[in-house]
Amino acid sequence: MPTQTTTRAFELTDYSLEKITPRDRQLPALGSHDVLLKMKAVSLNFRDFLIAKGLYSRNLKLPLVPLSDGAGEVLEVGSAVTRFKRGDRVTPIFMQKWIAGQLDANAGKSALGGAIDGVLQNEAIFDESGLLRIPDHLTYEEAATLPCAAVTAWNAMFEAGDIRPGSRVLALGTGGVSIFAMQFAKAAGALVAITSSSDEKLERAKQLGADVCINYKTHPDWDKELLKHFPEGVDHVIEVGGAGTLDRSVKAVKPGGHISMIGRLTDGAFDPTKLLMKGIRLQGIFVGSREMFERMNAAIDANKVSPIIDKGFKVEEISDALKTMESGSHFGKIVLAF
């Protein structure tokens, strides 16, 4: 059994940003393949905001410990654990049972902070199979940004996609997935276009290596502006589901190109005719497996990629952090430290 038998967990007790409160929870006995973590940092994804507001699903079991992404230190391991030892720095994977292969229903039922309790707690227990070591050059705060947004971007471009040197990538917006997509694409030698309604954010993206920066308020027909830079269209679009964006993404991608659908569409009808006429591949991406995460970490380590953290909070400020997520004012990731 762990020396400390309780953990301070933050619970979503109702669908409201104001209904996330701390309470002491009893830890279960440490199983033979279990690992006890002391959580050091967690990060936010838009999914966390949707869950807290009741916009993701109303069928989740409450109270729920929210958030899927975190990083921590191994405090204790079960008698049969071979992958980790005390003192190791690790991150839980998004879906605890998606180790390899294709996504299936069983894996989908193991998503942290939704189907099962998440990482917004001082100590937490995970099966050793659901954890990965942190690349040595990353801090806990940086590592906490990886499990959802980074793996999603990696899966979209390198597992489901075929990004290579010289590929042209369009990333919509400057949230976590899009900024990771830009960083990974540049590390792979690709050309990257990125959109935002903020010239300040676009300047930051340019400093990080973006080749084309388009303000979609200044250029409402941003697909036409993009085609001035890439007349044949882009090879791959990271589509995060903004208002009216899918139709323009279809116009911006080359014939035979690839659109990775990351977020939810926020508007109604979409005419699929151009998808058919241009032979475009439209694919939904729901994070990725542990094996994908491992390959991504190897690339992060080899290229010394450092996640972009825009804003930091304490875990007690979870409601304020989610409101910042809602506002869309952030660039990159929002992180909370214990």
pTM, two decimal places: 0.95
**Is residue 1 one of the residues assigned to a domain?**
no
Same domain, 292 and 280: no
Mean pLDDT of 198-215: 98
Mean pLDDT of 25-49: 97
* CATH number of the domain to which 21 belongs: 3.90.180.10
**Is residue 156 one of the residues assigned to a domain?**
no
Give me the count of residues in the chain.
338
Residue that is last in its domain, among 284, 300, 323: 284
* CATH number of the domain to which 231 belongs: 3.40.50.720
- The residues facing 147 across adjacent strands are none
Same domain, 108 and 10: yes
**Is residue 78 one of the residues assigned to a domain?**
yes
**Is residue 251 one of the residues assigned to a domain?**
yes
Query: What domain range is 302 assigned to?
Result: 6-146+288-337
Same domain, 12 and 111: yes
pLDDT confidence bin for 244, thresholds 50/70/90 = confident
Could you give the 3-state DSSP secondary structure of residue 310? Answer: strand
| Number of Cα atoms under 13 Å in the Cβ half of residue 8 | 8
Residue that is last in its domain, among 284, 304, 329: 284
Same domain, 247 and 206: yes
Same domain, 142 and 10: yes
Residue that is last in its domain, among 246, 266, 284: 284
pLDDT confidence bin for 13, thresholds 50/70/90 = very high
Same domain, 62 and 175: no
Q: Which two tokens stand for residue 272?
A: 């699929």
Same domain, 241 and 219: yes
**Is residue 151 one of the residues assigned to a domain?**
no
pLDDT at res. 326: 94
Q: Which two tokens stand for residue 148?
A: 């959802």
Could you give the 3-state DSSP secondary structure of residue 42? Answer: strand
Same domain, 140 and 260: no
Query: Model confidence over 161-206: pLDDT tens digits?
Result: 999 999 999 999 999 999 999 999 999 999 999 999 999 999 999 9
**Is residue 155 one of the residues assigned to a domain?**
no
- The residues facing 314 across adjacent strands are 337
d(CA 171, CA 240): 8
Same domain, 67 and 184: no
pLDDT confidence bin for 267, thresholds 50/70/90 = low
Q: Is the peptide bond before 66 cis (omega within 30 degrees of 0)?
A: no
Say how many domains are in the chain.
2
Q: At residue 265, does pLDDT exceed 60?
A: no
Residue-wise over 300-332: b if at least 16 C-beta within 10 A, else e? beeeebebbbbbebebeebbebbebbeeeebbb
Q: At residue 37, does pLDDT exceed 70?
A: yes
Same domain, 121 and 248: no
Strand 333-337 relative to strand 309-314, pairing: parallel
HEC-encoded secondary structure of 73-142: EEEEECCCCCCCCCCCEEEECCECCCCCCCCCHHHHCCEECCCECCCCECEEEEEHHHEEECCCCCCHHH
pLDDT at res. 1: 41
Same domain, 219 and 119: no
pLDDT confidence bin for 49, thresholds 50/70/90 = very high
Same domain, 96 and 203: no
d(CA 285, CA 185): 17
If we measure between CA atoms, which residue out of 223, 199, 208 comes closest to residue 178?
208
For the chain, how big is the Rg over CA atoms in Å? 20
Mean pLDDT of 12-16: 97
| pLDDT, averaged across the chain | 95
Q: Which two tokens stand for residue 214?
A: 């388009």
Percent pLDDT > 70 in the chain is 96
pLDDT confidence bin for 2, thresholds 50/70/90 = very low
**Is residue 41 one of the residues assigned to a domain?**
yes
Longest dimension (CA), the chain: 63
Quote the crossing angle between the two packed helices 318-327 and 46-53, to the nearest 10°: 110
